[in-house]
Amino acid sequence: MNVPVLVIYVGEVQVGMLFKFAPDNVAPIQRFVANEAYAAQAFGAAPVLSESMRADNPEQQRPFWLDITATRFNAERDTKGQWLLPAFFQNLLPEGIFRRHVAEEAKILPNDFFALLAACGKDLPGQVRAVWQDLDRQTLASLVTQNHDALEMTVAAEPFQASISISGVQPKLGVNRTAEGRFVGRTHLGDTSIIAKLPAPDYPRMPDVEFVSMTLARAAGITTCDFSLESMQLLQAPHRYDLGEEVQGNFLAVHRFDRSPDGRIHMEDFAQVLGVQPELKYTQSYLEVAAILLDLPACGEQAVLELIRRIAFNDLIGNADMHLKNMALRYRDGRMAELSPAYDLVAQALYHPVTGHALHLFDASVPPHDPKEPIWSPARLREFCSVLGLSEKPAEAQIRSLVLKTLQAAPDIVLKSGMTPKQKQDLLHRIHRHAHSQSSLRRHKSAAEVWRSVLN
C-alpha cells in the first residue's frame, strides 16, 4: 500500500509532514503531523505557518500542534463528496483552468489534490514548500499510526515536482522578466516572481480592465501590489491556453508580493487564516476579517481602515469578487502578520450585472443591503465600527477621501486606457452614478465641472 509523504517547510524550517494513507474500502487519511521540534519552540519564536494554527495562549500551543485528530490537520469532504486536503493545504492549490494546466503538465488527475500539491510543492504561495521524501517503513508506520500499530505498506514513487501554484481561475503563467524585457518561464533566474494574467476569449480586454481597476485603486490611496500592462508579443513562456483573438492584445504582469530579491516572503489568504476550504471562499463576512486584523499587533485599526477603503472602492467600480482568497496576510519577518497589498481588483460590472459583494458585510443572518444603495451607508458604517469598538469618524473620512481621489483620477486613467469605448463609457457612468460620487461632486465644484465635460 502506497503512503506518499510531503515534508512541509516554512523557509528552511521543517514544520511537519503531510501524508496520505488510503486503505481499501476505508475513508482515506490525509493528515498533517507537526514536527516535535517545531511544536516545542517557544510561543512566537517559530516562523508562522498560519494564524489558524496559533493557540490562544503560550501554554496551549504545543498541545494544539500535537492534537492530530483536530479538523484543521485532517482531510474533509466537500459538497460533492470528494476528499480534500486539510484546509490550509487545499488553499495552496491552483484553481480553475490553471489547475487543469498544471495537472496536464504533471500528468495527474485534476482532483488528485495530494499529487497536485506535490507537483507544485517547490513553488507554492508564500514561504511554504512541500518536498517529497522517501521514509523508511518504521518512520512511515510511526507517522501514520503514531506508534500504536504495525503497518504493512509500500513506498510511493517520487512525483513530478516542477509546477507552480497560483490562485485564481483565469488563464495565467508564472514567469520572470529578462534583462531584454521579455517574459519567460522558470529558468536559471530562479523562482518565478511575476504572474502573467492572460487575456480570455470570453472577456474582452480583461487585462486592460484589471490594469485600469488597479491603477484607479492606487490613485485612490489603496496599497496595491506592483503591476504593469504588457504586450502579448513579449510573452515567451509556452502554454496551451486558447486565447482566441485576444492573443493579439495585452497581459497583466503582476509582481508577486511573496517574492523578493532577498528570497521568499510568507503569506496566507483569508481562507487559510479562517481555516475554511476554497469552495467556502464566499462565506464568512468582512466583519470577521476586520476583527482578525484588529487583533493582530502589526495590523490594528489602520488595517481595518484599509479594508473599509477597499470595500468602498469595489462598490464604486463594480467588483463583486473580493472573497476570502482575494485578501491575504503577509509576514515579512516570518512572524508578524500585516495586511497584504491589494490584488485581483477588477471592474466585473463591465462583463455581467453586479448586485452585491463577495462576502456579507456582517454575518449571513443579517439581510444583505439593497444593491442599489451604497454598501457603506451611514448606518451600516456606524454599526460596523461600533461592533469593532472603533470611531466611525476616521472611517467616514477615509471613504470620502477615497471617493474624491477616484473621481479626480478616473477620467484621465479610463479614457487613455486600452479598454473598448463601451467599457470606458460604462465604467465612467457607473462611478459617476454612485451615491458617494454624487455627494462628493456636490461638495467639489471643480471635479463636477470635469465630469460634466467628460460625460457630455
Give me the helices (H) in 286-353, please. 286-295, 300-317
Q: Are 213 and 414 in contact (CB under 8 A)?
A: no
Question: Which of 188, 189, 174 has the alpha carbon at shortest distance from 235?
Answer: 174
Q: Grid coordinates representing 290?
A: 476586520
Q: Phi and psi of 220, rounded to 5°?
A: -80, -5
Strands 194-197 and 250-255: antiparallel
Report pLDDT for 430.
97
Report pLDDT for 150.
45
283 vs 262: CA distance, rounded Å = 36
Q: Are 31 and 70 in contact (CB under 8 A)?
A: no
Report pLDDT for 159.
53
175 vs 182: CA distance, rounded Å = 10
Does the global pTM surpass 0.85? yes
Question: Which of 165, 161, 109, 144 has the alpha carbon at shortest distance from 31?
Answer: 144
- Residuewise pLDDT in 10s, the chain (456 residues): 467 889 999 999 999 999 888 766 667 788 999 999 999 988 778 899 999 998 888 889 999 998 988 999 999 998 888 899 999 999 999 888 888 878 888 888 889 999 999 998 988 999 999 998 766 566 666 666 555 444 444 445 555 555 565 565 578 888 999 999 999 986 544 678 999 999 988 899 999 999 999 999 999 999 999 999 999 999 998 887 888 888 899 999 999 999 998 899 999 999 999 999 999 999 999 999 999 999 999 999 999 999 999 999 999 999 999 999 999 999 999 999 999 999 999 999 999 988 889 999 998 776 666 667 899 999 999 999 999 999 999 999 999 999 999 999 999 999 999 999 999 999 999 999 999 999 999 999 999 999 999 998
Q: Indicate the SS3 state at residue 25.
A: coil
C-alpha distances in Å from residue 86, one per residue of 19, 275, 328, 431: 11, 9, 18, 41
Report pLDDT for 253.
97
Q: In sequence order, what are the residues at sequence separation of 6 or more whose Cβ sits closer than 8 angstroms to the Cβ of residue 165?
A: 92, 93, 94, 102, 116, 117, 120, 123, 124, 125
Report pLDDT for 173.
87
Q: Are 210 and 142 in contact (CB under 8 A)?
A: no
Report pLDDT for 152.
47
Q: Which residue has the cell 533566474?
A: 189
Got the DSSP string for 126-192?
Answer: TTEEEEE----HHHHHHHHHTTSS----BPPPPPP-------SSS-EEEEEE-TTS-EE-SSTT-S-
Q: How many residues does the chain have?
A: 456
| Residues that are catalytic | 321
Torsion of CA 270, 275, 280, 282, to 10 degrees: -30
H or E element at residue 437:
helix 435-443
Question: Which of 228, 232, 225, 223 has the alpha carbon at shortest distance from 200?
Answer: 232
